Every structure is written in C-alpha cells, then in structure tokens.
Amino acid sequence: MHIAVVGTGYVGIPTGVCLAELGNDVICVDRDTARIENLKNGKMPIYEPGLEELLLKNVRAGRLSFTSVLDYAIEESEIIFVAVGTPQADNGEADMSQVLSVAADIGRNLRDYKIIINKSTVPVGSGELVSKTIREHAIDKSISFDVVSNPEFLREGSAVSDTLKPERIIIGSDSTAAAERIMQLYKPLKAPVLITDLRTAEMIKYASNSFLATKISFINAIANLCETIGADVATVARGMGLDPRIGPLFLNAGLGYGGSCFPKDVKALMSTAERNGVSLAMLREVERVNAYQRELFISKIKEELGVLSGKVIGVLGLAFKPNTDDMREAPSVPVLNALIADGAVVSAYDPMAFESASTMIAGLIRADSPYEAAVDADVLLVLTEWSEFLELDFSKLKGRMHKPVIIDGRNIYDVERMSDYGFRYISMGRPCNGLPV
Ligand SMILES: NC(=O)c1ccc[n+]([C@@H]2O[C@H](COP(=O)([O-])OP(=O)(O)OC[C@H]3O[C@@H](n4cnc5c(N)ncnc54)[C@H](O)[C@@H]3O)[C@@H](O)[C@H]2O)c1
C-alpha cells in the first residue's frame, strides 16, 4: 500500500519504519525541515533502540523516504497516518491545532479517495472534527474520504517491538470498508484487532492511559503508607501482582509517572468529563499523588543533607524512563531544578538524555559515567531505572563519593545488598537500611 505518515516524532518514525518493514511504500513527512534533512542523511532525531538499523534497511530497500512537502506526500498516498503532536493546551485540553492544520492540508490536496488515520492521541469527537475540516477545505467536494481512529499504544524504549508485535490493534471507523482496508494493512502482524466506532476508539486510548496512571498513583499512595507503618511496598506489590486480576506491571513505587503522554492524557480526559458534566474526580487524586511523590523525594534529600547550599549531589538518570532520550515531563526536571535553586551542585549522568535535560535544568553539570557523577557526592540519586545502573562496581562508586548515601527514586536496588556494600540506602516505600553515614 502507498502510505504517508505525517509527523516524524516518537510515534511517527516507528510507525513509518515498521509499515515499510511490512512491505509498504511509506513517505514520512514533517514540517521541521532540519529534521527531514537529518532523516534523509540517516541521522536519527530521537533515540529508540533498534529503530535506526530498521530505518536504514528500509531506506536502502527503497520502501521508505522523507519529505517536508506535505502536498506531495498526500498526493502519492492512499492512506495518510496523522502522528503529529497533541500537547496540553492552557485549559488542560488537548491542543488540536497540529492535527487540524494537517486535516486542512489534506482537504486542500484531496484529488482522489483517501483514508486518513488518526494515530495522534485526540479527544473523543476529534475524528468527526477532522472529517469536517477536510470537507471544509476540499476544493472538489465530490471526492470521498474516510477517517479512522487507530490509537497508538507503543511505549518509548520498546517502540519497534511494540509496533511489530502489538498486543492489540484498535480500529475505529464509521466506514466498514475503511476499517477492513486498515485491517488488511495490519494483517501481517497477527495481532488481536478490535473494530469500533470512531468515538469508542478515541476513548479506549484515554481510558487506557488514565488507568495505567491510576495504577502508578495507587501503588505510590500505598508506598507512603508502607513507609509510615514499616512495611515494604516492593514486596506488597509482588504479592498483589501475583493475582492475575491485578497483574505485576505498573506497580513500581517511586517518583511517579511522567513523559509526553500520561500527564497530558489524564488532564485531557478530566477536561472531556468536565465539559460533559461527568465527574472523574478520582483522576484529580491520581494527579495529586503523582505531584506529591516529587515533593516527598525532595524532602527525603533535605532531611538527609540539611542545608543544600554547597552540597554535591550526583544523579543517575534524567530521562522520564529508561531507553529513551525523551525528557518531556520527566520527574528529574522539577526535582533537580528545586535542588539547584537551593544551592546544591548537581552532576548527572544519563546514557541518552543529558543534552535535552541541560536545556531544561540550568546549571546541571554533565557526568560521562555513573562514577563521574559520584565524585565527591554527599548523596547519589537514582532518577531513571536504566538497566546499566544495576551492574555498577559499587565499591568503586562508593570510593568516589564524599558520603556513601544513595536515595533511590525508582527502587532499583535491593536494600540488603546496599547494606552489604556499605551504603546508607533510602528508597520509596521501603524501610531505610539504617546504616549511619
Ligand atoms: N510518544 C509516545 O510514546 C506516544 C505514544 C502513544 C501516542 N502518542 C501520541 O502520538 C502523537 C505524537 O506524539 P510524539 O511523541 O510522536 O510527538 P512528537 O512531538 O515527538 O512529534 C510530532 C512531530 O509532528 C511534527 N508536526 C507537527 N505539525 C506538523 C504538520 N502540520 N505537518 C508535518 N509535521 C508536523 C512535528 O514537527 C514533530 O516532529 C501525540 O498525540 C501523542 O500523544 C505518543
């Protein structure tokens, strides 16, 4: 099939690359000309494991190309995926301006039948709005098109395998023929497909993300109670997760959720509910717990260090989660900005995200390894659970530090093991190992 993917971000590139991998002819489009030039030269604008190799393979095979000329991509394609941003607007709702601008362009360039697929996360009713916008801008009003909602569930850090081996594919459309065509497109993936109407598909995405955010805030609220009563939240979560009705995933207590999706999607769903006179007040509590986790973490650091001015703080991890360079809504940003504002000297190591983080955290010092981050540190913080932090030489790490204290916002280490290495170890919802400094 001939496909255009509009938007070459964390969703657009994996989508375009994987559709090409399935044998389709794919043109990826972005209005950011520098980004497109980089992609044409094989330079990746984002970090995503395995993506670069697959991209180069499909470019070489002649199935994947890049352009900043949307009109050309529209003309060449039967199916147009819209994967542009829907950031949070000032009123908490999703900002639809990028999606609607693409819809208007599609309308202006509509010369034959097209299927337009919303991959961007868009509020309920957006499919109809996109249809209306295309129709309004179409020069020849007799040309038909269909709009399909196909929400994206990939996770940054495993986007390639999530796209090639999805757990489910949701196809929402008011046109049976269009839904069947998209089912055909995804057939090689052999994934469960759920066909719905447009609005239901849009709702599935928001309900899924809000549920996962709720799960995270739930375990964080439990973690805080565990700390007070002297229980261990990691073991509580393990015990809960053995129940198949609960499941073990998204039950890691810590700094809370971040990233480009959960915070804005929870807000957007609350706005939709409010606008429609329905209460989703429980999501307000989800947000409150999430914000509190960062404050709690900062208070743990202050409790340990006293006055922050002049104190040296080492940091392991900045990205909002491992295996990505994405810093959007990363908990490291408010936490480290607060510490630096209080006079701490902060040196941080992240395998991928330092460059982007340094534009959001003024005064952050770059460390090129975990050991460099630990030099002279009064405390070492864990803010992202990169797997390489599990395999450190802890004697070497301790030898670099001024004081052997670790405050772990992601609960990645075993409490006993940290005692064996001689670290005073403080984490989230688990008892401190009580070692004196
Ligand atoms: N990032 C994720 O993990 C994820 C997962 C599921 C769903 N989503 C949703 O997918 C959508 C895209 O997210 P993202 O993280 O890839 O965003 P992003 O910001 O990484 O990428 C969006 C891209 O769209 C381009 N763009 C904007 N307007 C354009 C236009 N008119 N023409 C051409 N290009 C244009 C931008 O230049 C940018 O490169 C959002 O709605 C998001 O909520 C994201």
Asked if residue 190 and residue 299 are part of one domain, the reply reads no
Contact 152, 83 (CB under 8 A): yes
In the block, tokens 């040196």 appear at 347
Cβ atoms of 335 and 300 within 8 Å: the answer is no
- What is the per-residue pLDDT for 92? 85
Q: How far is the C-alpha of 271 from the C-alpha of 78, rounded, in Å?
A: 34
Which ligand 1 atom sits closest to the C-alpha of 46?
Answer: 20
Domain count, the chain: 2
How confident is the model over 400-408, as a mean pLDDT? 98
> Do residues 173 and 300 share a domain?
no
- Same structural domain for residues 190 and 314? no
Domain assignment present for 236: no
For ligand 1, the distance from its centroid to the CA atom of residue 83, given in whole angstroms, is 5
Distance (angstroms) between ligand 1 centre and the Cα of 119 equals 9
Query: Are residues 27 and 155 both part of a single domain?
Result: yes
Length of the chain: 437
Could you tell me if 52 and 192 lie in one domain? yes
Mark whether 184 and 307 lie in a shared domain. Answer: no
* Residue ranges making up the domain that contains 393: 287-426
What average pLDDT does range 227-238 have in this prediction?
A: 96
Average pLDDT over residues 361-388: 98
Nearest CA owner, ligand 1 atom 30? 31
Q: What is the CB < 6 Å shell around ligand 1? A: 6-12, 29-32, 35, 70, 83-86, 98, 101-102, 120-121, 152, 154, 156, 260-261
- Report the catalytic residues: 261
Region 19-28 average pLDDT? 98
pLDDT digits (tens, 9 = 90+) for 70-103: 999 999 999 999 999 999 998 888 999 999 999 9
Minimal-distance CA residue to ligand 1 atom 1: 10
Q: Indicate the DSSP class of residue 254.
A: S
> What pLDDT was estimated at residue 216?
98
Candidate of 30, 38, 48 to mutate for ligand 1, largest count of ligand atoms within 8 Å of Cβ: 30
Residue with the smallest CA separation from ligand 1 atom 11 is 120
Mean pLDDT, residues 142-155: 97
Evaluate if residue 434 carries a pLDDT over 90: no
Closest residue (by CA) to atom 41 of ligand 1? Answer: 120
What is the average per-residue pLDDT within 239-251?
97
Strands 145-149 and 169-173: antiparallel
Residue nearest to atom 32 of ligand 1 (CA): 31
Nearest CA to ligand 1 atom 34: 30
Same domain, 183 and 320: no
Q: Which among 138, 169, 196 is the end of a domain?
A: 196
pLDDT at 271 over 90: yes
3-state DSSP assignment of residue 425: strand
* 342 pLDDT above the threshold of 90: yes
What is the atom index within ligand 1 of the atom nearest the CA of 101?
Answer: 31
Distance 80 CA to ligand 1 centre (A): 14
Q: What is the mean pLDDT of residues 46-68?
A: 97
Instruction: Give me the pLDDT at residue 141, please.
Output: 93
Local confidence band at 385 (pLDDT 50, 70, 90 cut-offs):
very high
Residue 131 has pLDDT above 90, yes or no: yes
**pLDDT at residue 436 is higher than 90:** no
What is the structure's pLDDT at 162?
97
Residue 314, beta-bridge partner list: 347, 380
Residues 188 and 322 in one domain: no
How far does the centroid of ligand 1 lie from the alpha carbon of residue 9, in Å? 5
Report yes or no on 334 lying in a domain: yes
CA 293 – CA 81 distance, rounded (Å): 37
Distance, CA 99 to ligand 1 centroid (Å)? 9
Last residue of a domain, one of 196, 228, 245: 196
Q: How many helices (H) and strands (E) does the chain have?
A: 17, 14
Q: Judge whether 226 lies within some domain.
A: no
- The verdict on 189 and 310 lying in the same domain is no
Map tokens 């081996």 to a residue.
Answer: 165
Q: Are residues 192 and 293 in the same domain?
A: no
| pLDDT 10s digits, 279-308 | 999 999 999 999 999 999 999 999 999 999
Among 196, 213, 237, which residue terminates a domain?
196
Name which residue sits closest to atom 36 of ligand 1, judged by CA: 7
Q: Which ligand 1 atom is the nearest neighbour of the CA of 265?
A: 43
Task: Report whether pLDDT(322) > 90.
Answer: yes
* 260 occurs within a structural domain: no
Residue 260 CA, ligand 1 centroid: distance in Å: 10
* Residue in 10, 35, 47, 325 to alter for ligand 1 test, most ligand atoms within 8 A of Cβ: 10
**Phi, psi for 241 (deg, rounded to 5):** -65, -20
Report the mean per-residue pLDDT for the chain: 97
Torsion-angle region of 346 (φ positive above 0: left; ψ -120 to 50: alpha; else: beta):
beta
182 and 311 together in one domain: no
Residue 350 has pLDDT above 90, yes or no: yes
Interval between CA 73 and ligand 1 midpoint (Å): 17
